[in-house]
Amino acid sequence: MANLPTIRWGIITTGLISSWFVDDLVLDRPDAKVKHIIQSIGTSNLEKGRKFVEQHCPNQNPQIYDSYDQVYNDAEVDIVYIGTPHAYHCRDSMQAIAAGKNVLCEKAFAMNAKQAREVFEAAKKKNVYVAEAMWLRHRPLYRKLQELLHQDKVIGDVTRVFADFASEIDISSLPPTSRYRDLALGAGSLLDIGVYPLTWLAVADEKDMEMPRIVASQSHEEGIEVTTSAILQYSSGRMGIASSTTKTKGSPGRIFAVIHGTKGHIEVSGDTPSIPESFTVWARQTDPGSPEKALFDKEQYESKTYEFPKVGRGFVWEADNTALDVLEGRKESSIVPWAMTVHMMEIMDEIRRQGGTVYPGE
């Protein structure tokens, strides 16, 4: 650890995701690329801040502030991590940037593409780093899958991808102030979990990020979007099918994404689409003999399963990659560049336009 480069984080909020991220920042790892210091924490409540430190980073000695501003203005902080509800991501990123800070902001990065562009424009002017914390894209599993699809072409050309995220949430039982229930905080399945199936669909993108033709539908309860179904059609003929719902429980340990190609398919599984654990490549072999065999006989395929060990909560790769970006002077993430975040926000904007989901102020 002694010779590793060091980065000092300012953590905004003591909420759930901040606690998971900090757990991983302080994880003792033999292969860590960076030494992560929790320099300061910004919270609405000092007592929450003290408890957070006790539970999640007891061996560090961060400054605890009862405002986010003090973190942005802490000269000892190299990068600010933002873990507020989505509706505040734009506001909080803009304030951190205005104070000259680098920023890693949770997904959904903003409420819409317009806000995302504003944040990137501000970062450009201030010459600071900003990135969306889409941890899935940093995972070795996702990156290996990209390599197999695009460099090795293990299933030929990708023709379609199915992906789903189901997570049962009884919204009516939650207090009106919950981020799952309050529209003003960005409540709705698409921005919260639908962004993952869309990221699985994007594993088939090479570098082009073409805007697909979209057909989408959403349903609402108490004004909150609870189901999203979207079909994405690309000019090559490739199709993507993505869904998200808070009405149905997911199936732990099961397949949540399937990628089909001209020479086989790949099944991706794990407890949730944000925490994938393995994938199996089913590569079609020689001449199947008959159309029936081609359809049904598993022996026509050679299968290989790739397992990826869990490390901490799964944020270590995002943390190291982001820190290295900043320490090496980059202003955009080498894994999630600005254009990628804007592209995903534009897709979600169009799905919401068709689905009839509008947030306050839009």
As measured in angstroms, the least distance from the Cβ of 328 to ligand NAP is 24
Q: Is 47 left (phi over 0), alpha (psi -120 to 50) or beta?
A: alpha
Among 44, 262, 285, 303, binds ligand NAP (CB under 6 A): 44
Residue nearest to ligand NAP (CB): 15
Q: Say what the alpha-carbon torsion angle 71, 96, 87, 240 is, to the nearest 10 degrees.
A: -120
Among 36, 56, 107, 137, binds ligand NAP (CB under 6 A): 107
- 355: which 2 tokens? 């689905």
Q: How far is CA 187 from CA 66, 85, 347, 362, in A?
A: 25, 9, 18, 14
85 binding ligand NAP? (CB under 6 A):
yes
Edge-to-edge strand list for the sheet holding 224-233: 213-221, 224-233, 239-245, 158-166, 254-261, 264-272, 275-284, 301-307
As measured in angstroms, the least distance from the Cβ of 75 to ligand NAP is 22
335 binding ligand NAP? (CB under 6 A):
no
Q: Pattern 162-191, binding to ligand NAP, x per CB under 6 A?
A: -----------------x-----x------
Q: How far is CA 348 from CA 37, 84, 106, 228, in A?
A: 35, 20, 16, 10
- 359: which 2 tokens? 């947030």
Q: Which of residues 132-151 bind ligand NAP (CB under 6 A)?
A: 135
67 binding ligand NAP? (CB under 6 A):
no
**Shorter beta-carbon distance to ligand NAP: residue 6 or 67:** 67
Q: Which of residues 189-228 bind ligand NAP (CB under 6 A)?
A: 192
φ, ψ of residue 82 to 5 degrees: the values are: -110, 120
As measured in angstroms, the least distance from the Cβ of 296 to ligand NAP is 38
40 binding ligand NAP? (CB under 6 A):
no
Among 62, 83, 194, 270, binds ligand NAP (CB under 6 A): 83
43 binding ligand NAP? (CB under 6 A):
yes
As measured in angstroms, the least distance from the Cβ of 130 to ligand NAP is 15
* Number of residues binding to ligand NAP, judged by CB under 6 A: 20
For ligand NAP, which stretch binds (CB under 6 A), given 13-21, 214-222, 293-301, 348-356? 13-21
Q: How far is CA 258 from CA 164, 202, 213, 337, in A?
A: 10, 12, 20, 25
As measured in angstroms, the least distance from the Cβ of 13 to ligand NAP is 4
Among 7, 11, 17, 204, binds ligand NAP (CB under 6 A): 17
**Contacting positions for ligand NAP (CB under 6 A):** 13-17, 43-45, 48, 83-86, 106-107, 135, 179, 185, 192, 274
